[in-house]
């Protein structure tokens, strides 16, 4: 099907037959405006590979010590010097002028924050690495030109937001926060109530107005013209609102994503769309569509499930979940991660673990110096939404620092993540084993600041220069793991994955490509454990000795495989 036919189909569904051709013409003019070209038929996409790995970071995660370089230059220098080709993609979290939420309340979508740098810095980074950027599409800052125009009744913006009579019954709207859904604002027509899903500074946009969609197509194409080749659709699940519904996952939202996918497929098939939908797994998986929506979806269930499995030393629920993962459609894959700029979401655990196990994670987080954030339910009650703690300290032994078990637990979690089918995303603070940043919570009043430390450049280099420092050790080992993974086609996202249930003490994967087979076995307990050879007989040959590619060591398996506490082996079989 041609691009025009696909786009007309989407636009008619969203806005009706009378507007569809005019909207298509406006869209195509924007493509030319940004010196891009639409192919009539899509080109074939180059598949994801085991060489793909993403660094997730803020642009100001490292503060330069002198005025000779800006923050983006400092970040680029660190990535090139300290990570090299261990990653091939850098996700810079919102680097635009913003008024709150650490960048996710965008004032101007077309500018780089002055204290970070400029578009030349983004383009410079894109010469060596793929760059992922956020399209913060659900809402904008109340200090944006659009919203200020709305308040004055001027275009563009006067019809870009959602006004609601406060007497309207909105009780069935799905809420990710406990803040009010409607916010009062002054306008030239008096006080109005506008829709605010996340905060009173983040005003939701009205996509029922096609001009809003056209604005975001323009922004999207501008990003592509600047060398950005992975676009993260932020909070996309809440995009389309309709009174009387829960206003999440509506079909109109899926059609908007499909339209962006059509644009990508016909401009450059190697551009990647990734949807950020922090919801239960059965809802999240729908954002693959029929292979015509997101190329990648976040594995939001993985961080809490993995944390639970290792802390409780019980892999039952992690194994059950992994066994039920559907095979991604061709050209699509999972985005595996354990930490991000947000907390560890626990909504994705719904239906995956019993309530008492869920409660254990809440208690565990508090014992380790973390916090819990809550959301508001339909009945006005509150329930946990996310755990606020660094992933490294989530494995701590309460009251003790950098113990042997903490380090082993943490590395076990990261190696399991790297073993799974998909593309790994590693948050900056996972590379540096950053501890709970309680000063940030005190300074900002934001629980999420606990996992958003800004390193001083000299401070970080001092840690990395000491071989006995935990930051040096974890970064060095993490790079080794990524380099090992890159060398094995069995870890390609296209390679097969079979999850084995060999008891609750273990998490076991069989990864296989045409060239090789690797058995990934993790002991997730604090005790030495053994697996009887007969349990592995379907996978290992008659030989007694196998290579653990994580270390290069030869392992002898005669009657059993012995594993140390929290030890993982990748056996070439």
**Active centre residues (catalytic):** 234
Q: Which of 110, 321, 318, 126 is nearest to 223 (CA)?
A: 110
Could you give the CA distance from residue 323 to residue 321 in angstroms, rounded to a whole number? 5
Secondary structure class of 214 (helix, strand, coil): helix
- How far is C-alpha 467 from the chain's CA centre? 31
Q: At what angle do helices 355-367 and 302-312 cross, to 10 degrees?
A: 80
Instruction: Give, for 90, the enclosing helix (H) or strand (E).
Output: strand 89-92
Could you give the CA distance from residue 402 to residue 393 in angstroms, rounded to a whole number? 9
Instruction: Please work out, in degrees rounded to the nearest 5, the angle formed at the alpha carbon of residue 88 by the alpha carbons of 509 and 462.
Output: 100
Write the burial class of residue 473 (CB in 10 Å: 0-12 exposed, 13-18 middle, 19+ buried): middle
Q: Pseudo-torsion of CA 96, 219, 205, 140, nearest 10°?
A: 10
Could you give the CA distance from residue 74 to residue 194 in angstroms, rounded to a whole number? 40
How many C-beta atoms lie closer than 10 Å to residue 493's C-beta? Answer: 22
Which residues lie closer than 8 Å to 42 by C-beta, 6 or more apart?
A: 3, 265, 266, 269
Strands of 371-376's sheet in order across: 344-345, 382-388, 371-376
CA pseudo-torsion sign 545, 548, 554, 557: negative
The CA distances from residue 351 to 235, 283, 386, in Å, are 22, 12, 16
Instruction: Please work out, in degrees rounded to the nearest 5, the angle formed at the alpha carbon of residue 394 by the alpha carbons of 85 and 398.
Output: 135
Q: Which of 365, 364, 358 is nearest to 388 (CA)?
A: 365
- Measured between its terminal Cα atoms, the distance across the chain in Å is 44
Which residues lie closer than 8 Å to 43 by C-beta, 6 or more apart?
A: 265, 268, 269
Q: Which of 384, 202, 187 is nearest to 278 (CA)?
A: 384
Q: Which of 391, 573, 569 is nearest to 484 (CA)?
A: 569
Could you give the CA distance from residue 350 to residue 490 in angstroms, rounded to a whole number? 31
Q: In the beta sheet, which residues pair with residue 274?
A: 232, 296
Which residues lie closer than 8 Å to 363 by C-beta, 6 or more apart?
A: none
Could you give the CA distance from residue 334 to residue 273 in angstroms, rounded to a whole number? 12
Q: Residue 83 gets which letter from DSSP?
A: I
β 54-57/423-427 pair status = parallel
- How far is C-alpha 461 from the chain's CA centre? 27
Could you give the CA distance from residue 340 to residue 344 in angstroms, rounded to a whole number? 8
């Amino acid at each position: 099907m041609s691009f025009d036919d696909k786009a007309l189909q989407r636009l008619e569904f969203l806005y009706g037959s009378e507007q569809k051709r005019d909207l298509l013409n406006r869209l195509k003019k924007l493509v030319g405006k940004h010196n891009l070209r639409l192919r009539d038929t899509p080109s074939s996409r180059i598949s994801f590979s085991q060489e793909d790995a993403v660094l997730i970071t803020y642009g100001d995660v490292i503060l330069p010590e002198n005025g000779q370089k800006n923050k983006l230059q400092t970040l680029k220098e660190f990535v090139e010097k300290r990570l090299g080709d261990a990653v091939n993609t850098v996700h810079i979290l919102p680097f635009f002028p913003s008024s709150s939420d650490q960048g996710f309340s965008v004032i101007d979508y077309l500018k780089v924050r002055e204290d970070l740098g400029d578009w030349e810095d983004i383009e410079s980074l894109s010469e060596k690495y793929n760059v992922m950027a956020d399209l913060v599409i659900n809402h904008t800052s109340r200090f944006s030109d659009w919203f200020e125009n709305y308040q004055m009744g001027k275009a563009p913006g006067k019809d870009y937001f959602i006004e609601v009579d406060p007497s309207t019954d909105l009780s069935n709207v799905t809420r990710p926060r406990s803040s009010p859904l409607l916010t009062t604002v002054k306008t030239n027509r008096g006080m109005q109530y506008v829709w605010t899903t996340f905060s009173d500074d983040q005003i939701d946009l009205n996509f029922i107005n096609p001009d809003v969609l056209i604005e975001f197509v323009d922004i999207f194409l501008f990003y592509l013209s600047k060398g950005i080749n992975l676009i993260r659709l932020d909070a996309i699940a809440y995009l389309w609102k309709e009174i009387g519904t829960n206003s999440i996952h509506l079909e109109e939202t899926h059609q908007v994503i499909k339209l962006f996918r059509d644009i990508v497929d016909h401009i450059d098939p190697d551009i990647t769309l990734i949807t950020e939908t922090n919801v239960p797994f059965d809802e999240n998986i729908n954002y693959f569509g029929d292979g015509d929506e997101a190329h990648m979806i976040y594995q939001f269930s993985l961080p809490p499930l993995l944390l639970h499995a290792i802390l409780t030393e019980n892999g039952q629920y992690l194994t059950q979940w992994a066994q039920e993962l559907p095979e991604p459609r061709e050209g699509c894959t999972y985005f595996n991660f354990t930490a991000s700029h947000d907390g560890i979401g626990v909504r994705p655990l719904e239906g995956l673990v019993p309530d008492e196990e869920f409660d254990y994670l809440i208690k565990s987080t508090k014992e380790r110096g973390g916090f819990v954030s809550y959301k508001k339910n339909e009945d006005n009650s509150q329930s946990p939404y996310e755990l606020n703690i660094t992933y490294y300290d989530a494995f701590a032994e309460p009251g003790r620092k950098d113990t042997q078990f903490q380090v082993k637990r943490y590395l076990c979690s990261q190696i399991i993540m790297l073993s799974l089918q998909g593309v790994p995303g590693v948050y900056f603070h996972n590379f540096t084993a950053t501890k709970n940043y309680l000063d940030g919570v005190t300074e900002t009043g934001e629980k999420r600041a606990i996992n958003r430390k800004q390193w001083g450049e000299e401070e970080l280099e001092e840690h990395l220069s000491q071989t006995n420092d935990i930051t040096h050790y974890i970064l060095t080992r993490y790079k080794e793991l990524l380099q090992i993974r890159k060398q094995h086609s069995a870890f390609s996202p296209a390679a097969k994955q079979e999850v084995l249930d060999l008891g609750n003490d273990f998490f076991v994967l069989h990864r296989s490509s045409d060239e090789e087979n690797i058995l990934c076995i993790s002991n997730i307990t604090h005790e030495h454990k053994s697996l009887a050879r007969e349990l592995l007989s379907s996978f290992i040959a008659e030989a007694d000795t196998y290579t653990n590619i994580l270390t290069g060591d030869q392992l002898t398996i005669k009657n059993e495989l012995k594993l140390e506490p929290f030890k993982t082996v990748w056996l070439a079989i």
